[in-house]
Structure 1
Amino acid sequence: MVELSCKTKYALLALLELAAYHQKREPLQIRQIAEKQEISDRYLEQLLATLRRGGLVKSQRGAKGGYLLAREPWQITLLDVVECLEGLESSTPEGSPINTAEKAVVQEIWQVIDDNIKRQLQKYNLQTLSEQCYHKQRTDLMYYI
């Protein structure tokens, strides 16, 4: 199973929080996001700075300042987030020449795996994740007798 780093998980939580407030066009402050998602303020500040440099969020200065999504939620894919934070490099072995059938097969398989991972990450965006969160919250609130 592919495991996301804590950095990416926390960034996704922060981005989902920003996506939930996106329609209001009101920035969220770091402490608001940190408190709701139980993330350290300082760590979140670093993550948001990276996401800002990557063009996924923008900051607004002032007393009512904070962070906003830089694009519409449906325009920010998981691939965008992972590439911004992790640099999603190809895991195909490089450097050594492919001089055996075994090396060629291994390289071909890793390329297929890389392509599949990128394709799956491209399928999901902040809008679809926000909708899934909304439906999950509504389902969790239902009481059964």
Structure 2
Amino acid sequence: MELSCKSEYAILALLELATHYQKGEPLQIRQIAAKQNIPDRYLEQLLATLRRGGLVKSQRGSKGGYFLTREPWKITLFDVFVCVEGLDKLQNCEEDSTKTSDSAVVEDIWEEARQAANSVLQKYTLLDLCEKRDSHKHLDIMYYI
């Protein structure tokens, strides 16, 4: 299982929205794109997907933009992955009657890996990512005398 650019950009955009969640003000695409270094056009498409998936809402107008539909501690990385990549990436392939015993063994191991990955993705929320980011920032601070 590999993290696609699409999923990574979606998580980064949602992380930015989670950071500003308490303010209750929507963020514009250009603000998110600039802060997270995501191409504007690509981010626009991603946010439309996230909106259809129920993770973000949009507000029109001069004070418009995007904001989370739920609290950051209620949105898991699994939710994001399912929304962006689709559920078919997380499900097992259809059973094929022509499978050999070798391919069945490989498929069993792959399914175990997929379940482990899903478990990790369900464990972490956007709030967890914000906290991890903040703790990394504190470690990066150096004091000079």
Query: Shared fold by TM > 0.5?
Result: yes
Partner SS for 2:137: helix
Deviations 1:57-92 (A, max 9, x none): 110112111000011101111111111111142464
- Range with bigger deviation, 86-95 or 21-30: 86-95
Partner SS for 1:59: strand
- 1:4-19, aligned counterparts within 5 Å? 4-19=3-18
Whether the 8 Å contact between 1:77 and 1:121 is mirrored in structure 2 is: yes
- 1:21-32, aligned counterparts within 5 Å? 21-32=20-31
Partner SS for 1:105: helix
Give structure 2 stretches of 5+ with no counterpart.
none
State the alpha-carbon separation in 1 of the partners of residues 83 and 123 from structure 2.
Answer: 17
* Counterpart position of 2:122: 122
* Counterpart position of 2:112: 112
State the alpha-carbon separation in 2 of the partners of residues 40 and 112 from structure 1.
Answer: 35
* Counterpart position of 1:82: 81
Say what the alpha-carbon RMSD is for the aligned residues: 1.8
State the alpha-carbon separation in 2 of the partners of residues 135 and 61 from structure 1.
Answer: 35
- Range with bigger deviation, 135-144 or 115-124: 135-144
Return closer, same or farther for 1:75/1:98 CA change in 2, 3 Å cut-off. Answer: farther
Whether the 8 Å contact between 1:98 and 1:104 is mirrored in structure 2 is: no
Partner SS for 1:96: coil
TM-score (norm 2): 0.89
Work out the number of aligned pairs and report it: 144
- Range with bigger deviation, 87-96 or 7-16: 87-96
User: What's the % identity of the aligned pairs?
Assistant: 60
Letter in 2 for 1:126: L
* Counterpart position of 2:41: 42
Partner SS for 1:3: coil
* Counterpart position of 2:96: 96
TM-score (norm 1): 0.89
Deviations 1:105-130 (A, max 9, x none): 22322221111111111111100000
- Range with bigger deviation, 44-53 or 89-98: 89-98
